[in-house]
Structure 1
Amino acid sequence: MPNKKDDVYGDHISEKFNDELTELKTQFLNMGGLVESQVEHAIQALVDNDGQLAEQTRLNDKIVDKMERDLDEEAILVIARRQPTARDLRLVISVIKMVADLERMGDEAKKIAKMAIKLSEEGQAPRGYIEIRHIGNHVMSMIHDALDAFARLDSEQALRIMKEDKQVDEEYQAAARALLTFMMEDTRNISRCMMVMWVLRALERIGDHACNIAEHVIFMAKGEDVRHSPMEETEKVVGR
């Protein structure tokens, strides 16, 4: 559970303002849930060689794009109507930035879906699917935990996500090296193996965006921007 001191978003004199902030957070979580589902389905489509699921996942990206536009518009209206300050302004600005991360996650899911469609047509690659499933599960967990950290304004959970991102980077690098070695040893499947490589890269980027959301959660909870800060400094901020 988040610390009491992390729960900085309380009630306002204006009930309408409360409703607007609640709606903003709800819309963000709804968009996050859809993106989480998109990533899951894209991975499933590729691993199961399901071209139909991949195509549906690709088409659903338009819904994610519309939700991004709607959320941006709502956030701008809140700023214009309420002129929020301090903690409320941090919330609204952070939502605008986190929405961009969610949209980019959706774009990466669409890329994975496109690779799944191509591989369903050309035949599966001989290597890389175990790594995709493993890194995919790790990244899916990061997305889920990032959304949960936002919902509960849990800076400690956000910190854990940031630490997990380094693990995903290491897993991606190890998988990429193994796949590259395989392609050098057997050049007959380079095209399909490159598609798998692009999928692994897309998953690594999704992990980066989940980490970005975690950084914004810490900013909302603690009032300090920890982007580009050493992990030791971020740990100090969260521990305050």
Structure 2
Amino acid sequence: MREQFDRQLVDMRQEVVAILTDVDVELHDAVDALVEGDREKAKLTKKATRKIDRRCEELEDKAYQAVVLQQPVASDLRLIQFIIYSDFNLQRMSNHARNIAKTAKRASKVEVPGQLLDLLASMAHLVYRVLGTLAEAIVEGDIVKAATLPELDEPVDDLYKEFYRVFAQLQEGDDIDAAIRVVMAARMLERISDNAVEMGERAVFLFTGKRVHLSDLPDLDEGELRHMYVAPGRAITLGLEEDRRVAEQIPEVDLADEDEAPDDFREAAARSLSELHEQRERRRAELKAWREQMRREWEMNVAPHAAPVPGEAGPAPKRDGGESQAKAGDDGEGSESGKSGESD
């Protein structure tokens, strides 16, 4: 029973990482659809995010079943708690990506101010960096990387504020409704980044057993951070070798609907885990190549027009009037984001 429970924990926390990776992929597609005005890609992205929602619901059910049936303690309980809370954050990220895809479908019929689209592409690039760092921190069990998440999130917040300054400078001939939709998409990106930071805090609790705000971690040196680790259970470490070791220790058991268990059960389990890791590595390589292409395009086409990210040199944007219009866009944000969970 203990070995089977270990396997269940391994499967669940692998699913968390897999869902996070898929959310990252769908967010790329949603932003691309909006920037390029691709209605078909937006439609496919909406469908994909609904599949992610169903996977999150299934993962949550498995986590609660494990609590009821196994009564976990210590690191096992922290892992299940991390899975349940992360499941909520992943669902919110998926909903926000779907709302960006909805915006892409609607905005494709109108002329969206180009400067706002440039800002959106710049902001998305920063959010991809946050999600990538979060995935690495979870997979590697690295609280040092998790501690960098608030710092990576700050430029996202700063660039989001820039949207309202640009919005206030729109001319009479610009489509204000389309501009508001892009600002709402920027709001979704900002919320995705915030959810990623929350997941980072949950991961730190998983690895240390301590309630620590990520904003407090930069005050500690790396040695102090490493000292915070507690000895984890087998199901917490996310390395491939650990997966194989857990799989090899799972005994052959009688299955509920079969007369006898297959002889190659352990080999099949280890092979399945290995294939999952290989698939994830290929996906991460594809994402890395895509992000590098995005970075090059950003440096060539967007950087000369976008507001500088804090810490980088560049001319300060002109400030102008229009506070009432910016406030109107901000007020519209609440009603739009409040519908993030609704169907189109």
The two structures have a TM-score, normalised by structure 1, of: 0.87
Relative contact order, CA 8 A, sep 6+: which one is greater?
Answer: 1
- Percent sequence identity over aligned pairs: 23
Aligned to 1:181: 168
**Counterpart AA for 2:76:** D
For residues 35-82 of structure 1, the C-alpha deviation after alignment (integer angstroms, 9 at most, x for no partner) is 111111001111111110011111222101101110001111111222
Counterpart of 1:208 in structure 2 is: 194
Q: State how far apart, in whole Å, the 2-side matches of 1:69 and 1:127 are.
A: 38
The Cα of 1:182 is off from its aligned counterpart by 2.0
| In 1, Cα distance between equivalents of 2:204 and 2:216 | 14
Q: Determine which of 179, 184, 194 is the counterpart of 1:193.
A: 179
Q: Is the 8 A contact 1:159 1:238 kept in 2?
A: no
**Quick check: 1:94 aligned with 2:82?**
yes
Matched, 1:63 2:51: yes
Distance 2:150 2:103 in 1: 28
> Could you say if the C-alpha distance between residues 239 and 232 of structure 1 is closer, same or farther in structure 2, counting changes exceeding 3 Å?
farther
Partner of 1:10: none
8 Å CA contact 2:23–2:90 kept in 1: the answer is yes
Matched, 1:37 2:25: yes
Which residue is 1:142 aligned to? 130
CA RMSD of aligned residues (A): 1.8
Q: Give the gaps of 5 or more residues in structure 1.
A: 1-12
Q: How does 1:72-83 map to 2 (within 5 A)?
A: 72-83=60-71
**CA displacement, residues 135-157 of structure 1 (integer Å, 9 cap, x when unaligned):** 10110121122122111211111
SS at match of 2:169: helix
- 8 A contact 1:146–1:161 mirrored in 2: yes
Distance 1:194 1:71 in 2: 35
Alignment of 1:231 with 2:215, yes or no, is: yes
CA offsets, 1:8-36, max 9 Å, x none? xxxxx922122111001111112112111
Which structure has more helix as a fraction of its residues? 1
* Equivalent residues of 1:218, 1:238 under 8 A apart: no
Point out the more displaced range, 144-153 or 95-104.
Answer: 144-153
Change (3 A) 1:153 1:26: same
2:18, 2:185 → 1: CA distance? 25
Shift of 1:233: 5.5
- Normalization by structure 2: what TM-score? 0.62
Q: Distance in 2 between matches of 1:81 and 1:36?
A: 33
**Distance in 1 (alpha carbons) for counterparts of 2:214 and 2:192:** 21
How many pairs are equivalent? Answer: 224
Q: Is contact 2:116–2:179 with CA below 8 Å preserved after alignment?
A: yes
Classify 1:224/1:186 alpha carbon distance in 2 versus 1 (closer, same or farther; 3 Å).
farther
Larger CA deviation: 79-88 vs 121-130: 121-130
Where structure 2 has 5 or more consecutive residues not aligned to the other structure, the ranges are 228-344
Match of 2:262 in 1: none
* Cα pair distance change 1:68/1:98, threshold 3 Å: same
Rounded to whole Å, the distance in 2 between the matches of 1:128 and 1:193 is 7
Give the secondary structure class of the aligned counterpart of 1:140: helix
* Letter in structure 2 aligned against 1:213: M
Residues 1:235 and 1:99: Cα distance change in structure 2 (over 3 Å) = farther
